Chain A
Amino acid sequence: MQQAIDPINHPPVIEAQDVQLYYGNFRAVKDFSLKVQPRMITAIIGPSGCGKSTVLRSFNRMNDFVPSFHLDGSILYHDQNIYAPEVDPVLIRGRIGMVFQKPNPFPKSIYDNVAWGAKINGMRGNMDDLVEEALRKAALWDEVKDILRNSALSLSGGQQQRLCIARALAVRPEIILMDEPASALDPIATLKIEDLMRELSENYTIIIVTHNMQQAARASDMTAFFTMDEDRAGIMVEYDQTSKIFTTPRDQRTEDYITGRYG
């Protein structure tokens, strides 16, 4: 396995150390280690079933809701192992937000969708300003500023997904995990999301799972390539700068995948 090469030597925000992920007795993802750089977009790519989403969800303990899930190794968030017994996952999820594959706004008003996360996390202050700030950051404000009290479900798919991003931003996270955020959207809405990610990466660390290689090549700074081994367990093949992965991959399997020979 290749060790990640830091393009810029910042201390990593997230560092996975010898992590193995299990569902019951099945080892879903084999031993991997990687360091996520701050204020960059890190893409996780690979064929279906290689455990990309499982890896992503292990970064904010969303896998906890799968009863049989467990993890070996440690995932450090600013040098704190988030799987340590004294860590409350609720706090972790407040710092590491998540955007899901299918837009899943709450069946509430647009305003309430954005404000709810802040409210339940005990954030105080001018909620109207917070909602506007989050919607502006998500490039949705101009489209919804006059219909804030309308149901979020009345928005288009692309708008709903940007609302979900605004909702995550309103909690003021440091990291945003995105699980194939554009796979349910049309190409134009997809491009909007990618532009948005680029803007957000100035202030946030973004980790995105995608099975769209063009998306990874266009929108990310770092890329981790996962695939399956003969036991159907996920393994990390290569982790490097996106430009290197897509031009001069070091591993034959990476090259086969990005040139479309399999997967």
Chain B
Amino acid sequence: MTATFDRQHPDPENLPGRQRAGKVWQGVFSMSLLVGLLALIVLLLNITNQAGGLAAYRNKVEPASLSPLPLEETPVEALVAILKENLSINRIKTLQRDGKLEDRSQTDLAAIVTEQIVKPEVIATYTLFQSLTRGDQIRQEILAQNPDASVVWKWWLTPDFLQRSMSSNADLAGVRTALFGSLYMIAITILVAFPIGLGAAIYLEEYADRRSRINRIIQTNIDNLAGVPSIVYGILGLAIFVRLLSPLTSGALFGSGSDNGRTILSAALTMALLVLPVIIINSQEAIRAVPGSLREAAYGLGATRWQTIWHHVLPYAMPGIMTGNILAISRAIGETAPLIVVGAATFITQDPSGPFSRFTALPIQIYNWTTRPQPEFRNIAAAAILVLLVSLLSLNAVAIFLRSRFGRR
């Protein structure tokens, strides 16, 4: 039997039409990519725009009226005299709690004079774009309204910004404490989540009986847990690590540490819980991608299950495992909600000294600064976002380097 068609051969007439349809879809797909790229560029520009520009200051007391020399060049004795002259006795006592004024360095004293007496106040800040396009106009406007104000170029992300700790004065605030807190936390998170996650993945892929009901339930639950909102993990962490395991997470069991469970350890364990399902799933996928022929080859030579896994399955899967886990860890660095619930401090000037210390983290710091009413805090928030992005990218770069080092031959 021969089927009857209108045409017996492929029609050359409709070929251009078919090719055109393909071109249209190709265009649609490249547009999607373009939209994504544009969004990324706009984001980066927006942050950079906030991170630098003109700032108008007004001093409560002009430094020129205090000392004939600029403060940076004024000798120690003169600075001490200025302080004693302008500040109340109680204030001086407070300052001397950590040591006599005369014993401090010149830089330190100049900073104290600036902070306590000169008290520079930011009246207004301008974005990089505004400052570049109509800088002169801005200067004139400000000076017309506030004749005693000074307008300076200010780049908020400076080496000092990285080295200073938290302060209620945006000019003197920095991210050192937050950066250390974030790095400390992520290090513990990796140490906890990576071995447990990889172990669970190996068990589920290589040992667990896929047909058993319990294992199927466990697998489904892990898949679902990956989608649970992070705030829920925060509450879980609060209940378990901060409250229930407080003797452990506060370090009381080890005879040191803080008085409650709101420590780096609690936060890191909470983050580990948060990324664990993602790590398990990613590692499982990577292990599943190992060809069965490789396993058969090993078993066929009389290898045990563990020898096969250790010598062949894991090395082959490792690049894939790393890729998946880098993404999971990156997510943990930027995560804010669980930290708020677990109790990251918003104002802290002490660097974390160990897993049992109170801490703050970069996202917390950014969140905190963006909620302040003063305009200059938005600028340092932008600068902190740049720090967060750069630290994230460098962690990823390290991980990618490791991946290529341990990649398959």
A binds B: yes
**A contacts, CB < 8 Å to B:** 60, 62, 65, 67, 90-91, 93-95, 97-100, 102, 104-109, 116-117, 120-121, 151, 164, 167-168, 171
Sample of 12 further A-B pairs with CB below 8 A, known A117-B301, A168-B300: A62-B299, A65-B299, A90-B304, A98-B296, A100-B300, A104-B291, A106-B297, A107-B408, A109-B409, A116-B311, A117-B303, A120-B304
Please, how many angstroms separate the alpha-carbon atoms of A105 and B297 in the complex? 8
User: Given A67-B211, A107-B408, A120-B311, does the pair A91, B297 have CB atoms closer than 8 Å?
Assistant: no
The one of A90, A100, A102, A108 in contact with B302, judged by C-beta atoms closer than 8 angstroms, is A90
Total inter-chain residue pairs, C-beta < 8 Å: 70
Q: A164 to chain B: which residues have CB within 8 Å?
A: 297
| Contact across chains for B211 and A120 when beta carbons are under 8 A apart | no
Residues of B within 8 A of A (CB): 209-211, 291, 293-304, 307, 311-312, 316, 408-409
Residues in B whose Cβ lies below 8 Å from that of A100: 293, 296-297, 300
Q: What is the CA–CA distance of A107 and B293 in the complex, to the nearest angstrom?
A: 12
Assess whether A120 is in contact with B299, with CB atoms less than 8 Å apart. Answer: no
CA gap between A151 and B409 in the complex, in Å = 7
Q: Are A60 and B300 in contact (CB under 8 A)?
A: yes
Q: When the two chains form their complex, are residues A94 and B296 in contact, meaning their CB atoms are under 8 A apart?
A: no
* B300: contacting residue among A98, A107, A121, CB under 8 A: A98
Interface pair B294/A106, CB less than 8 Å apart = yes
**B295 nearest in chain A by CB position:** A65
Q: Which residue of B lies closest to A117 (CB)?
A: B301
Write out the residue numbers on chain B whose beta carbons fall within 8 Å of the beta carbon of A93.
Answer: 299-303
Contacts of B311 in A (CB 8 A): 116, 120
Contact sample, A vs B, 21 pairs, CB 8 Å cutoff: A62-B296, A65-B296, A67-B209, A90-B302, A90-B304, A93-B303, A97-B300, A97-B301, A98-B300, A100-B297, A100-B300, A104-B296, A107-B294, A107-B408, A109-B409, A116-B301, A117-B302, A120-B304, A121-B302, A164-B297, A167-B301
Give the distance in Å from the alpha carbon of A65 to the alpha carbon of B296 in the complex: 9
- Which residue from chain B places its CB closest to the CB of A108 in the assembled complex? B409
B302–A120 CB distance below 8 A: yes
B295 partner residues in chain A, CB cutoff 8 A: 65
Question: In the complex, how many angstroms separate the beta carbon of B296 from the nearest chain A beta carbon?
Answer: 6
Distance between B289 CB and nearest chain A CB, rounded to angstroms: 13
Q: Is the CB of A107 within 8 A of B296?
A: no
Contact assessment for B303 and A120 in the assembled complex, using a CB-CB cutoff below 8 Å = yes
Main SS of the interface on chain B?
Answer: helix
> With the chains together, A106 CA to B315 CA distance in Å?
11
Query: A230 vs B401: C-alpha distance in the bound complex, in angstroms?
Result: 59
**Considering only CB atoms, which chain A residue lies closest to B293 in the complex?**
A104
A residues near B294, Cβ cutoff 8 Å: 104, 106-107
How far, in angstroms, from A167 to B300 measured CA to CA in the complex? 10
Contacts of B297 in A (CB 8 A): 100, 104-106, 164, 167
Shortest CB–CB separation between residue A60 and chain B, in angstroms? Answer: 7
B309 CB to nearest A CB, Å: 12
The CA-CA distance from A107 to B307 in the complex, in Å, is 16
Hey, which chain B residues are within 8 Å of A67, CB to CB? 209-211
Inter-subunit contact A106/B296 (CB<8 Å)? no
Contact of A102 among B210, B293, B409 (CB under 8 A): B293
Q: How far is the CA of A141 from the CA of B211 in the complex (A)?
A: 46
Q: A67-B209, A102-B293, A151-B409 are in contact. Are A107 and B316 (CB under 8 A)?
A: yes
Q: How far is the CB of A213 from chain B (nearest CB, A)?
A: 26
Q: In the complex, what residue of chain A is closest to B297 when comparing beta carbons?
A: A104
- Our pick among B291, B293, B301, B302 for the contact of A91 (Cβ within 8 Å) is B302
How distant is A154 from chain B, measured CB to nearest CB, in Å?
10
Q: How far is the CA of A254 from the CA of B114 in the complex (A)?
A: 103
Which of B209, B211, B302, B303 gathers most chain A CB within 10 Å? B302
Instruction: Give every chain A residue within 8 A of B307 (Cβ-Cβ).
Output: 120
Q: Shortest distance in angstroms between B320's beta carbon and chain A's nearest beta carbon?
A: 14
**Do A168 and B301 touch across chains, with their CB atoms under 8 A apart?**
yes
- Are A171 and B296 in contact, with the CB atoms below 8 A? no
Q: Once the chains bind, are B293 and A171 in contact (CB under 8 Å)? A: no
8 Å CB contact of A90 from B209, B291, B303, B316: B303
Kindly provide the distance from the CB of A178 to the nearest chain B CB, expressed in whole angstroms: 11
Residue of B300, B303, B304, B409 touching A62 (CB-CB under 8 A): B300
Q: Considering the chains assembled together, what is the distance between the CA atoms of A104 and B294 in angstroms?
A: 6
Check if B302 sits within 8 Å of A107, measured CB to CB.
no
Chain A residues near B409 (CB-CB < 8 A): 107-109, 151
Q: Are A94 and B302 in contact (CB under 8 A)?
A: yes
**Chain A residues in 8 Å Cβ range of B291:** 104
- Chain B residue nearest to A164 (CB atoms) is B297
- The distance in angstroms between the C-alpha atoms of A98 and B210, with both chains bound, is 26
Please indicate the chain B residues that have their CB under 8 angstroms from the CB of A65 in the complex: 295-296, 299
In the complex formed, the residue of A with least CB distance to B310 is A120
Chain A residues, CB < 8 A from B298: 106
Q: Which residue of A lies closest to B292 (CB)?
A: A65
Enumerate chain A residues within 8 angstroms of B303, measured Cβ to Cβ.
Answer: 90, 93, 117, 120
CB-CB under 8 A from B293, the residues of chain A are 100, 102, 104
A67-B409 Cα distance, complex, nearest whole Å = 32
Chain B proximity of A218: nearest CB distance (Å): 25
Alpha-carbon distance between A168 and B307 when the two chains are bound, in angstroms: 16
Contacts of B301 in A (CB 8 A): 93-94, 97, 116-117, 120-121, 167-168, 171
Measured CB to CB, the closest approach of chain B to A181, in angstroms, equals 12
Q: For the complex, give the distance between the alpha carbons of A106 and B300 in Å.
A: 12
Tell me the complex Cα distance, A117–B302, Å. Answer: 7
Bound CA span A147–B300, Å: 25
The residues of A that contact B312 with a CB separation of less than 8 Å are: 106
